[in-house]
Structure formats: structure tokens, C-alpha cells
A and B are shown apart, each in its own frame.
Chain A
């Protein structure tokens, strides 16, 4: 049984009780992903599985056998930052930084969901094109708590990263 994490295969061995979060941190040494609550309530453990954001504390590593996981380490490096990472730095989208890897993985997932036209609870129209207004970003990022309350800067950072990404695509 194995998992691909940031492009590298990892064997899943050991206790079936191991959450994906503990597997990443303890078995693979990928400590960028954080444990806040361990109960799906804070979003610090958010990673992408097959491109979709999930709470890695509420799934077992063994259940993810064969899947592709992307953690913050796979999103960018200090020398080659993802536009989201650069925007978080520019806008001070954090204070202590503990929630930040989860925020960035979550934002990455959110952009893909919006590009696929997924509506949110605050979307007026279920079928329309998704425009990520500040209100939409707040609703879609509500699964990522920030104990330091950097929320408004997080929204600014995501908004800027979106515009640079669109600009890059043009």
C-alpha cells in the first residue's frame, strides 16, 4: 500500500489507526501540515488529496492508499513560492503562522473549486459563474480558523493571488 506525497511514493506501514495527518508529520517528516484540534474543527491540517482540499486529521492514511497528496511542502519552496504564498507574505496573512499552511492549501483547493463553478452557501445563483468576492472567500475559507485573527489580511492575500494568477494566464 502506498501514497504519493508531493510526487514521491511513500509506503504505508504500521498501525491502521494512523491518521493521514500523523502519517505526514511522523512517518514522512513533513511537518509543514499542522495539527490544531485533531477533530475537523480548525482546518490547520488541510491538504489536497487528488487535488481536493480535505482535513487530514479525519481520514486514515490507509484509506488514502493509491491517492496523490499535496502538502504545503509541495505547493512551493522559499525560492519558488506559489503566488498564494508570496501574497500571504506581502499582506501579512498571518501572525504566528500556525494556521498558514492549512490556509494556503485550503485557498489552493478553493480556487480550483471556483474554477469548476462550485457554488457556496452565499452564492446568489447556484448555476452561475463563480466570482470570488470577499464575502465568497470568507464563506469558502470558514473551515480555516486563525487564532491570531489575521482574517482580513488573508482575504487580501487570496484576492491578490487570484488577480496575479489571472494576469499570468492572460
Chain B
């Protein structure tokens, strides 16, 4: 099992690649790392890229929601990017929808959204 989850910083945006089969321990550590980075580097936006995630069950759904909630409380906006079509289909059928989380097709589009919301001073959603 690979333990390193890459966190990249671009300006005041963090880009986190979520790996498939995340375990409890890895999820706890990742949340911790993200919140530390947000605080330390005055982060405005968080991109959670899930393009390599092959399913979202209630466990993964909950982790992603929690990351987004915690970041928002600290003042950073979250965008989830890169969801595969089959992940979206199965997840909605299962009963999850991420209605309260911003999503975008790609990391680039997520970055664009964050730039627009920064310029317009939109509050976090």
C-alpha cells in the first residue's frame, strides 16, 4: 500500500490527489495535513481530485464531505474534480449526491472556478 498522498500547492490553492482504497489511518492523516497546510500557507481554495478513485461508497463520501466542511470552517473553498462517469452513476443510484460541494470536470476547471470566486468575493458554498 502506498502511503504518500501528494499535496501540491499552486499559489493559494492546494491540489490533493485522492487515491483509491484510502484507509481510516490515511484519511485521518490526510485531513490533518490539509488543515495544517490551509492554516500555515493561507490557503484560499482546496481541490480534491478524484480522477483515480474507482468508487464512492458511504465511507469515501463521508471523508470527502468532512474534508470540505472542515476546510470551509477554516475559510477555504473546496472543489471536487475529475469524477469518472461510472463513479457518478453508481454513487447517485446508491443515494449520495454531494449537493453541497462544488464540483468541476477537471483540475483546470476547478482552478478556474476558484479564481472566479476569489475575484468576485463569493462566499464559500
The answer to whether A binds B is no
